[in-house]
Amino acid sequence: MIPPRRARYGKIERLVDDMLSAEPGISAPVPVERLVRERGIAIRRGPLDDDVSGLLVRQGSSATIGVNDAQSALRQRFTIAHEFGHFLLHEGMVEHVDRGYRVNFRNQESSMARDVEEIEANFFAASLLMPTRLLYEAGAVDAVDDDEKVKDLAKRFQVSRHAMSLRLANV
């Protein structure tokens, strides 16, 4: 029996830190669309099935991230970062469709290590959109139990309050 794969949190944090360190003067909100496009990945918005937030398609040396334009701007931003995570972390993935509306890092499937790629893509998206260093610079240490601070941070980083709450709990 093959042991279950585990999410590579350390690798993901280093990847994000290296990427953002190469961007002089980076600040919140992180320019995720620019980072994606600089790597030659196209972003296309359009109508997708209601339960599809985004998708990634690789064709030879090119890649496209598709985003459901019916979802909120904040959700679209997270979706782009999530699909970017799949692109960088899961090289063998040719096509991927994200169904559902999850931001959580763990669920019943993921706790059984069946959904490691989704855990990693969610962690990458959260780490990229809400980098630890920028959170500390923004005074996020005090925000965990303060709804108003969470709301302000979410607005500053252009993420949902739910995503910010989860990230703060994990940082």
Q: What are 62-109's pLDDT values in tens digits?
A: 999 999 999 999 999 999 999 999 999 998 888 889 886 444 433 444
| Ranges under pLDDT 50 in the chain | 1-4, 101-114
Give exposure, 24-62, as e/b (b: 16+ Cβ within 10 Å).
eeeebebebbebbeeeebebebeebeeebbbbbbbeeee
Does the reported pTM lie above 0.85? yes
CB 109 within 8 A of CB 3: no
State phi, psi for 117 to the nearest 5 degrees: -65, -35
In the sheet with 41-46, reading across from the earlier edge strand, the strands are: 41-46, 62-68, 52-59, 95-99
What is the pLDDT, as a whole number, of residue 100? 63
| Distance in angstroms between the alpha carbons of the first and the last residue of the chain | 34
What is the pLDDT, as a whole number, of residue 135? 95
Q: Identify the bridge partners of residue 64 per DSSP, sorted by sequence position.
A: 42, 57
State phi, psi for 169 to the nearest 5 degrees: -65, -30
